[in-house]
Structure formats: C-alpha cells, structure tokens
Amino acid sequence: MTFVTFPVPVDGLHHLSNETRMIATPWSRMVRGIGLGQHPIAYNPVAAARIRHAFALLAAKGAESSAYTRFSRLLAHFVLDVTDPARCLHRRDLEADLGPILATVRAEENPYFRVMAGCVLMDAFAKLGLDRTLLVGADADFAAETLDVVDTIEADRIKDENAGRHGHYEKLSAYTAAFLAIGQLGLGERLVTGPRHYVREALALLEKIPAPFFRGRGGAMLLSVISLLGHERHIVDDNGRDHIKEVLTHLDRAGELDNPPAFPQPMSAAFTRVYPLLTMLNAIAMSGRPEEYLSYGRDRLAEAKDLMAGLRPVERTHMGLYYLVALHNLGRLRDQIPDLDGFVEGIVGEWRRTDPGANYFLNGISYPYILQTALLTGRTDLIEPTALDRLVDCFPDLDRTDDDRVNRPYPFAYALNVLAELGSAHLLFEPRDSYGGATPISWVIDRLSDQGREEPRLYMLNHALVSYALRLRGPGREATALFQEFDFHRGPRG
C-alpha cells in the first residue's frame, strides 16, 4: 500500500485557526463564498499561473457574460498582483485596479450575488491587509452600500428543488456574509448602532424560514457570526427571547411540521435532522453558554450521536467533519468519540466503497469531504494515491444524466479546493488519460454550455479559484484581528 506525503498547512484539529473552526466545511466556502483563502501559504508563481489559466479558459468559453465570473477573475488577478513579492503596488495602482472590480459588483443584477461578491471583496481586503479606506472612505461607503442591497432580496426567490421551503433563507444568508465581511473590516459596531439595528433585523428573519433544515443550517452560521463579532448579547432580546433556543425548538418539531428538504439523491431522515443540528452545535460552541444550550429540551450531544449512528456510510462522509469540528469546539471530542482514530479511519476508508462519479451530490462531494476530514484531523497518512486518482478522473462519468452534467462544477469546485489545500492541485492541471490527454480543468470547462448559462453552480468554481488565490498571501497572514480576538473557551458570561 502506497501513501502520499502532503505539504499540508495543518497537522490536526489542535492546529486549526479560529476561522477554520467556525467555517471548516466546504459548504459555506464554495456555496456561500464566506471564509475563502484559509490556510495561507507563500506566494507560488506556478499556482498563480494555474489560476490565471483557469479564468482564461472560462473567458474563452464565454462565461464572462456573467458579471459574477468577470468579478471573480478581476478579483483573483488583483489578489495575485498584491501577493506577488515581485510587484510593488502603490495606492494609486490599487485604486485603478479596484475601479473595474467595483463596477462588476454593481453590474450583477441578482441582488444576492451582488451582496456575495461585495462580501468576498471586503473579506479579501481584510486578509490582504489593505487600507479599508479604499472601500469605506470619504467619497464612498461600500459596506453601507452592500447592506442596502440586502434590503432588496425577496423571500422564496431560489429556484431549486426546495422552492417554498426557504422563506427568507437567502436574505438571512446575505446578512450573515455581510456581517462577517463588515466585521473583517473592523466595522462591526455599526451593525448595532445608528438608526438601524441590523443584528436584530437579521435575527427576526429566523422565524420567517419555514423548513427546520434551512432555519437550522442558515441560522447557525448567522448566530456564529454574531458571536464572533462580540454581539452575542443580542441573541437573547430584552424580553428574554432566546433565538438559539427557538431554533432548537423548531428543529425538534421537524416531524410535526413535515417539511423536509429535497436533495438531488434520496437522503435518510437522520441526515436531514443531523445536518442542521451539527451546525447549531458549532453556534452553541461560539455562544459562550454551551452547557445551557446543550441540555435545552434534550441532551443535544446524545441526540447527535444517535443520529450519526443512523446515517448511511456515504452520508457519514458528508457529516463526519461537521461532527468532529463541533465537538472539538465544544471541548467534548474525547468524551463523545473516545476512539478518534477509529472514527476518522472509518470515514476516510469509505473512499474504497464509494464511486465519486455515480452522481454529482451524494457521491460527487463525498470524496472532497473525506479528504478534508483527513486533512483537518492530521490523518493525511490515510490518503492513498488511488483515492486521488479516482477523484480526479471521475468527472467524465457525470455525463450520465443532464442533472449531473449541468451541476458538474459543484463537485469539481470542491475537488479543486481540497486538492489545493493538500498541495495536489497540479493533478487537475496536467494531462490525463481519462480526459483523452487533456487536463481535467480544460476538459470540464470546455464541456460547459454556451457561456455557462445552463450551469447554475458555475459560480462555485469561481469561489474555488479566488480562494486558491487568497491562500497565496503568505503564512504570516493566517488570521485577521477579528478571528484572533475570539476565544472559544471564554466560558459563560456574567
């Protein structure tokens, strides 16, 4: 049996930054665009060339008919120029480059995507250590502009298999991203001062998300960001209304409400219940009052353990990392999973029984989760070359159905993200027999529809590339002040 030695950026859960502990899984990063650029490394001209090449392929395919793709390319090039030690950019250079980027953000017609682009830009500024007055100065206030766009996001506008279950889920997610990005710029206090109390407004949206799955998953990240910003006192309002307890109570009513989410492949009842619960466990870990919430209504850790045991093996590959990180953040990992090595080995070992090309969702993103679990737990010794080959070579199989084909960028983005973190992104940029001698990146992009119009999740590939670029900012920029100042173990408030 042959294993690979990886130049990995972490060596176990104890080494994770606060940002990774809050945003560990690829869902928030690739789907929502928050927490991009984790695990920074030294600038690498080969990696930079790969990123530029990928965007050139997208442009040649006509994908820049989308303002979001144009924005992503311009931002990635901007990031690479700033991080390149051979270049010395002055303020006037940054201002000149920033103008077209802002123009593409404002050209995005979908208000949710416009907010998402603005937040990715603000987050990048913070991580690059750039002067925030370029965005928030005497002549313009990009943070306020972004919050204004959130106001225009309407309920139930997501057109997917869960239409009618979302309510204000998209607006809540936009607030989450905006709060985090504004906090990254050091402007978090403006969210709770002035004529509008944005934190209270966002919390009020929770009850306007009907499906327990989406209220729990979306609410958990909002509640986590509010705690990160130091605004956790607002989670319980002046009348004693506790939003964490209300979300937990709503999760407990899932059977009564009978409004389960739809997935591209059939998922077990345990999966639909454990997913929002695990995200809420992470929010509880950040709240400062974990013991109060873990016993509210029922023993939440016992509930999570039972639900995890009820998952099918391929579903556990998705949920294992959520479970491990939440328990680690709660300080309960060892008592809940005494045999940590055995647990991780069980999840990572599923690659042998899982075909990543069988479908784009359940199987397609299982491999990236498997690899991410090995990476963040310090068990990359479990990753065999055959596992990487199977992942890299699976994408032609996703021509089996139209649904798999148009959603191929989804698992491909996940794969690019984790392979870059493992130092193995080159596998996607080198010719391979499975692609008739083409590179996987060129093959996948070449088979997009005209201008990428049919692929609803093409934007996730943009996020993977921008994240890859942001990682090249250097290991000295591991955490911004916002994340450095947070303490998972600060204990209950007085």
**Cα(188)–Cα(219) distance, integer angstroms:** 19
First-to-final CA distance of the chain? 55
Express each pLDDT in 425-467 by its tens digit. 999 999 999 999 999 999 999 999 999 999 999 999 999 999 9
- Note whether 401 and 13 are within 8 A (CB): no
Could you tell me how many residues make up the chain?
Answer: 494
Using DSSP, state whether 67 is helix, strand or coil.
helix
In angstroms, how far is CA 34 from the centroid of its own chain?
5
Residue 295 region by backbone torsions, left for phi larger than 0, else alpha for psi between -120 and 50, else beta: alpha
Express each pLDDT in 144-184 by its tens digit. 999 999 999 988 666 666 566 667 999 999 999 999 999 99
Q: Any bridge partners for residue 136, and if so which?
A: 141
Rounded to 5 degrees, what are φ and ψ at 140? -155, 155
Express each pLDDT in 99-126 by its tens digit. 999 999 999 999 999 999 999 999 999 9
296-301: long-range contacts, CB 8 A cutoff, minimum separation 24: 296/245, 296/248, 297/245, 297/248, 297/249, 297/252, 298/252, 300/248, 301/327, 301/330, 301/332, 301/336
Nearest in space to 178 (alpha carbons), one of 205, 157, 204, 151:
151
Using DSSP, state whether 377 is helix, strand or coil.
coil
- Note whether 65 and 440 are within 8 A (CB): no
Nearest in space to 341 (alpha carbons), one of 315, 307, 374, 311:
374
Express each pLDDT in 210-239 by its tens digit. 999 999 999 999 999 999 999 999 999 989
pLDDT of residue 220: 98
**Other beta carbons within 10 Å of 163:** 11
For residue 492, name the pLDDT band (cuts at 50, 70, 90).
very low
Express each pLDDT in 60-79 by its tens digit. 999 999 999 999 999 999 99
Q: Tell me which DSSP letter residue 160 carries.
A: S
Q: Any bridge partners for residue 141, and if so which?
A: 136
Read off the pTM: 0.96
Judge whether residue 142 has pLDDT over 70: yes
- Note whether 410 and 364 are within 8 A (CB): yes
Rounded to 5 degrees, what are φ and ψ at 205? -75, -20
- Note whether 101 and 74 are within 8 A (CB): yes
Buried b (16+ CB within 10 A) or exposed e, 207-226: eebbbbbbbbbbbbbbbbbb
